[in-house]
Amino acid sequence: MRDALVVFTPSGKRGRVPVGTPVLTAARQLGVDLDSVCGGRGICSRCQITPGSGQFAKHGVHVADGALSDWNAVEQRYKDKRGLIDGRRLGCQAQIMGDVVIDVPPESQVHRQVVRKAATARTVIMDPATRLYLVEVSEPDMHEPSGDFERLAEALRTQWDIPEITAGLDVLRKLQPALRAGAWQVTVALHNDHRPGPHRVLDIWPGMYEGGLYGLAIDLGSTTIAAHLCDLRTGEVLASEGVMNPQIRFGEDLMSRVSYAMMNPGGDVEMTRAVREGLDSLTRAISDTAGITAREIVEAVIVCNPVMHHLLLGIDPVELGQAPFALATSEALNFGARDLSLWGMNPAARIYMLPCIAGHVGADAAAVALAESPETSDDLVLVIDVGTNAEILLGDRRRVLACSSPTGPAFEGAQISAGQRAAPGAIERVEIDPVTKEPRFRIIGCDLWSDEPGFAAASAASGITGICGSGIIEAVAEMRMAGLVDRSGLIGGPDQTGTWRCQPEGRTHAYLVHDASGTGGPRIAVTQGDIRAIQLAKSALYAGARLLMDEIGTDRVDRVVLAGAFGAHISPKHAMVLGMIPDARLDKVTSAGNAAGTGARIALCSRAARAGIEATVRRIHKIETAIEPRFQEHFVAASALPHATDPFPELAQVVTLPDVSFNTGGGTHDGTRRRRRRG
C-alpha cells in the first residue's frame, strides 16, 4: 500500500501513513492533539483542520492538489447545518491521499493553552476533569443479557479506552431513555480526577450533545463570595459574579464566627446553611447572567480559608479558634454538589476543594500558591494575600514556606474612624504636599484628583463617603513622608507640623483630610487611633514575612507579589514607606489581582494542576505565627514607621536614622508604649 508524509502544525509532529488514512486517525497515531467528541463519526466537528498547499520549505514538503480526499457529503451536511469556515475540513472525513501539511487550529486542540492576561503570564494547558464522549452502545441481546450500563461501559472501553466507569442512581435513571432516544448513540460527561479510580458518569444525553459544559471557580471569602463561570472545553470565562457571604450576620471576621459557633449551640449549623444558600444563589445568579441551565454546570472548584472551609462542609470550626488550630481534614477533597445541598448545578456535579496548608493557612492560600507557583520561581518571591488574615508564602524552587498573620480588618477599612469598604465614594488614593502639608485625593468611581477641575461635579453622584483600605495606607504613608507623624506613629500638633489640619482630638491629634460637615457631609480625618490600627496591622504583616525570611536565613527578597482584591490596589511605594512589606526593588513589587480566584480557575481547567498543588502543599513548610516567640519580637520591632527619605529602608537602619520627633507632653498612647522600640 502506498503511503504519504503528513506533517501537523503547530506541533511539528510528522510521520508516514497509508494513503486513505483519515486525518483524525493519523493525528491519533502520531500523538497529535486533535479533539473529537464523536469519535470520528462526523457529528461533533471538533476535529476541524486546515490543509496547506504548495511548498513548505520548513517542513520539506510540497503539497500537491488532491493531497486530501475530496470534500464529502458528511462535511457538506455539517456545513449546511452548522457552518464551517472556508478552507476547513473535518479531520475524521478528510483522508490523506498524498504528502500534506495539516494545521490544527487552537479550537481543535483538546489541550489548548489558556494564557493568563496578568504580567507574570502563566500557561495553563486545558486538561479538565470532566469531558464529553459520544459512544455507540450495542443493543441488548436476550441471549447474552447484560445491563445497558454494562454495555455503555463496554462501549467506552472499546471506543475510548476508558477502563472503568461508575455512576450514581440519577444517571442510571436517565440511562435507558437516553439510549433509546438516541438510537443507541449517547453523549456522556465523564469525570475523572487525577487520582486512580473509575471515570464517573455525571450526565448522559441522547445522540450528540450540543449544549454546554461548565464549571465554577469559587473564591469563598469571609465577606464576599466570588465566582467565575468557565467553559470546561475552552477555559474561557463566560461570566463572573459576586455576592456578600450571608454569614456576615454572624460576625464580620472569622474569629467572631468561630465564637458564634462556640457560644450558640447549633450556631455552626446555622452558618453552614447560610453559606450554602449563598453559594446556591450565586450559582443561580451567574447561570442567569450567562444564560445557561443548572444541568450544564458539572463541576466547581472552591477555595477558602480554613474556617469557611469547615463551615461549608458542616464541620464545627471550634478547633480552629484555639491552639493547636487542628483542621478536621487538610487534604484536597472531591465530593458531590448534593453533599452540600447545592441545587443550582447538575445533580451529579463534583466539587473539588484545594488542600489546606495549615490551620490558619487555607485552601485559598493553596490557590494563591497554584496561581503564583513560588515553587517554580528562580528568585526568592514573597507572596502576600492581604485580608483580615494575611496569608504569606515565601520561597523559590528549592523551598517554600507559608504562614498566616492576624492583620485584623484595618486594611479593609474597618476599625478606622472614617473607614469604609472599597466602594464608590471611598478615598482610595491620597497625596500630601510635603511643603504645604495640604492633601489631595481620589475616590473610587472618579478618575480625577480632588484638586483637579471638575472633581466636584464628577464626585457628586457618589459623594465623598469615607476612606478605604488602600486610601488609609496611602494617607498614613504620606503623613509620614510629610513629617506629620514621627517614627513612633505619633501625629504632631499644629505647632509641630505647621498645619492647621493637625487638630487636637482628645489628648492626641488628627489630620483632617476632608471636611464637608458644613454642608451636612462627613468629616474625614486620620486619627491617632487610625495610625495605631494601621501600625498593628502592618506590623503583623511584616512580622509574618520576616519570620519566613528568618527561617530561610535572608534579609531581602527578590520580588514581592501582592495578591487579593485589596493587594491589587495597594501602592507598593506607600506599602514600603509604611514598612508593611520587606524591602524589594519597587519594580519588583507587583499585584497578582485575585490570585486565589485564579488558582481556582486553574484547578478547574487542569487535573495536572490539581495533582501539582496537592504535591506542592505537602512540601510547603508551615510556620505557626501564634506560637513563635520571634513573631512577637518582629511584631514589636515593626511597629515603627520607617523614615520618609529612605526609599527602601531596612527596619534595622530606621531606628538609628535621624527623624522628626514630637514631644507628647506626657500623654499616654495606648498600644504604642509597650511596642515602641527606643532607638
Tell me: does residue 173 bind its own copies (CB under 8 A). Answer: yes
Instruction: Candidates 64, 323, 460, 615: give the one binding its own copies (CB under 8 A).
Output: 323
Q: Cβ 510 to its own copies, closest distance in Å?
A: 40
Contact call for residue 335 and its own copies (CB under 8 A): yes
Contact (Cβ atoms closer than 8 angstroms) between residue 608 and residue 194: yes
- To its own copies, the closest distance from the beta carbon of 381 in angstroms equals 22
- 144 counts as binding its own copies under rule CB under 8 A: yes
Among 75, 99, 148, 478, binds its own copies (CB under 8 A): 148
* 369 contacts its own copies (rule: CB under 8 A): no
Q: Would strands 466-467 and 426-432 be described as parallel, antiparallel, or unpaired?
A: parallel
Q: What is the 3-class SS of 26-59, one letter each residue?
A: HHHHCCCCCCCCCCCCCCCCCCEEEECCEEEHHH
CB 333 → its own copies: shortest distance, Å?
9
- Total Cβ atoms within 10 A of residue 288: 12
Grid cell locating 606: 487542569
Min CB(234)–its own copies separation in Å: 32
Closest separation between CB of residue 355 and its own copies, Å?
9
Does residue number 331 form part of the binding site for its own copies (CB under 8 A)?
yes
Does residue 147 interact with its own copies by CB under 8 A?
yes
146 binds its own copies (CB under 8 A): yes
Strands 199-206 and 185-191: antiparallel
Site for its own copies in 603-642 (CB under 8 A): 622, 624, 626-627
Which of 49, 63, 94, 313 binds its own copies (CB under 8 A)? It is 313
> CA 468 to CA 225: how far, in whole Å?
20
Q: Which stretch binds its own copies (CB under 8 A): 71-79, 107-115, 168-176, 594-602?
A: 168-176
Of 56, 160, 325, 648, the residue at the interface with its own copies (CB under 8 A) is 325
Helices (H) and strands (E) in the chain, counts: 18, 33
User: What is the x/- site pattern for its own copies, positions 186-205, by CB under 8 A?
Assistant: -----------x--------
Q: How far is the CB of 176 from its own copies (least distance, A)?
A: 5
Q: Which residues pair with 557 in a beta bridge?
A: none
Interface with its own copies (CB under 8 A), residue total 45
Is residue 316 part of the contact set for its own copies (CB under 8 A)?
yes
The smaller minimum CB distance to its own copies, of residues 335 and 343, is found at: 335
Binding segment toward its own copies, per CB under 8 A, in 321-329, 431-439, 597-605, 656-664: 321-329
* Sequence-ordered strand ranges (E) for 461-553: 466-467, 502-505, 508-515, 523-527
Length of the chain: 679
Is residue 141 a contact point for its own copies (CB under 8 A)?
yes
Least CB distance to its own copies at residue 403 (A): 11
E-strand ranges in 469-518 read: 502-505, 508-515
On the CB side of 236, CA atoms within 13 Å amount to 9
Judged by CB under 8 A, the residue of 8, 149, 411, 631 near its own copies is 149
Among 48-56, 139-147, 181-189, 651-659, the segment contacting its own copies (CB under 8 A):
139-147
Among residues 320 and 384, whose Cβ is nearest to its own copies? 320
DSSP assigned state of 676: P
Among 76, 113, 329, 663, binds its own copies (CB under 8 A): 329
CA distance 464 to 472: 14
Contacting its own copies within 210-269 (CB under 8 A):
none
151's grid cell: 454495555
The least distance separating its own copies from the CB of residue 618, rounded to whole angstroms, comes to 9
150 in contact with its own copies (CB under 8 A): yes
Q: How far is the CB of 360 from its own copies (least distance, A)?
A: 9
Write the interaction track for its own copies spanning residues 385-424; mark x where CB under 8 A is met and - where it is not. Answer: ----------------------------------------
State how beta strands 165-167 and 199-206 pair: parallel
Compute the Cα dihedral for 14, 19, 22, 25 and give only its sign: negative
Residues 92 and 23: beta-carbon distance below 8 Å: yes
Q: Least distance in Å: CB of 555 to its own copies?
A: 24
Which residue of 311, 356, 473, 543 would you call a contact of its own copies, by CB under 8 A?
356
- The beta-carbon contacts of 317-323 under 8 Å, at least 24 apart in sequence, are 317/257, 317/258, 317/261, 317/268, 318/258, 318/261, 318/262, 318/268, 319/359, 320/258, 320/359, 320/360, 321/255, 321/258, 321/259, 321/262, 323/626, 323/627
Burial class (CB in 10 A: 0-12, 13-18, 19+), 20: middle
Stretch touching its own copies by CB under 8 A, among 274-282, 329-337, 473-481, 559-567: 329-337
Q: What grid cell was written down for 210?
A: 450540543
Phi-psi region of 413 (alpha: psi -120 to 50; beta: other; left: phi over 0): left
Placement of cell 471557580 in the chain: 217
CA–CA–CA angle 216, 217, 219 (5° rounding): 130
Contact flag: residue 327 with its own copies (CB under 8 A): yes
169 binds its own copies (CB under 8 A): yes
Sequential DSSP letters for 411-457: GGTTTSTTB--S-TTEEEEEEE-TTT--EEEEETT--S-TTSTTHHH
Residue 233 or residue 610: which is nearer to its own copies going by CB?
610
Which of 132, 216, 239, 315 contacts its own copies by CB under 8 A? 315
3 or 193: whose CB is closer to its own copies?
A: 193
**CB nearer to its own copies: pick between 152 and 473:** 152
CA-CA distance, 90 to 92, in Å (whole number)? 5
Among 130, 330, 527, 528, binds its own copies (CB under 8 A): 330
DSSP H or E segment with residue 381: strand 381-385
Contacting positions for its own copies (CB under 8 A): 139-150, 168-169, 172-173, 175-177, 197, 313-316, 318-319, 323-331, 335, 339, 356-359, 622, 624, 626-627
